[in-house]
Amino acid sequence: MSFYDKVYEQVKKIPAGRVATYGQIACLCGSPKASRAVGYALHFNPDPESIPCFRVVNRFGGCAEAFAFGGKAVQAARLEEDGIEVGKDFTVDLDKYLWDPFEE
């Protein structure tokens, strides 16, 4: 399985109303130092309808400048459609919305 496939498999697990960080996805893929590679993989999302890459934000909760769906504004709109509040500075409150993959 390629690294991209590993990224997409982890991203599919993020439930509606939650976000993950690039670093968190990298760790779940077994490559804790590969957060930049995760960001790169998200730009090649083969199936945006079933692989919700818009749910991945940076370590500060920020939307991506060069997000594959059209930049910060588009990512923020997708997050808000998903029930996540996005601030005027295009950030998400990680204390409120961060996904815990080990939660039951």
Catalytic residues: 53
Cα–Cα nearest to 53, from 62, 61, 45: 45
Q: Which residues pair with 58 in a beta bridge?
A: none
- Which residues have a Cβ under 8 Å from the Cβ of 99 and sit 6 or more positions away? 14, 15, 18, 19, 20, 24, 55
Query: Who's near 87: CB < 8 A, 6+ residues apart?
Result: 93
